[in-house]
């Protein structure tokens, strides 16, 4: 399991990336994060919804209600044009960050 503080600063980008691929609802995003990381990283529901609120406030995503399923309407999230631009910038920044960290960490294992 990875310490969540190692990833916390990148949660916005991770969630934007998943929503960039397709509109999704909260549980679906949480499940994908666990599956794609082979359960090495899991996001708490409270954290996930705090990220949704932050991203909506910045106009990087928007929400809408889907069709009724399992007794209720699911709230879906979609990325905005501004969100796409932010995600591209975040990806470029991550690449540079990773290169710098690699300079110091490679060859230690």
d(CA 74, CA 25): 7
User: Helix 26-36 vs helix 11-21: angle between axes, to the nearest 10 degrees?
Assistant: 110
Q: How many CA atoms lie within 13 A of 26 on its CB side?
A: 17
In the three-class reduction of DSSP (H, G, I as helix; E, B as strand; rest coil), residue 77 is classed as strand
pLDDT of res. 7: 84
pLDDT of res. 2: 67
pLDDT of res. 64: 95
Strands of 24-25's sheet, edge to edge?
24-25, 72-79, 61-69
Kindly list the structural domains of the chain, giving each domain's residue range(s) and its CATH number in brackets, ordered by start.
9-99 (1.10.10.10)
pLDDT of res. 72: 78
pLDDT of res. 57: 98
Residues of the chain scoring pLDDT < 50 = none
């Amino acid at each position: 399991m990875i310490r969540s503080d190692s990833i916390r600063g990148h949660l916005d980008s991770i969630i934007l990336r998943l929503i960039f691929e397709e509109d999704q609802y909260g549980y679906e995003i949480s499940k994908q994060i666990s599956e794609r990381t082979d359960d090495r990283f899991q996001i708490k529901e409270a954290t996930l919804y705090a990220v949704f609120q932050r991203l909506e406030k910045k106009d990087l995503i928007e929400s809408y209600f889907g069709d009724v399923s399992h007794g209720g309407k699911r709230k879906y999230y979609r990325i905005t044009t501004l969100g796409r631009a932010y995600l591209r910038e975040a990806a470029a920044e991550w690449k540079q960050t990773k290169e710098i960290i690699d300079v110091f960490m490679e060859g230690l294992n």
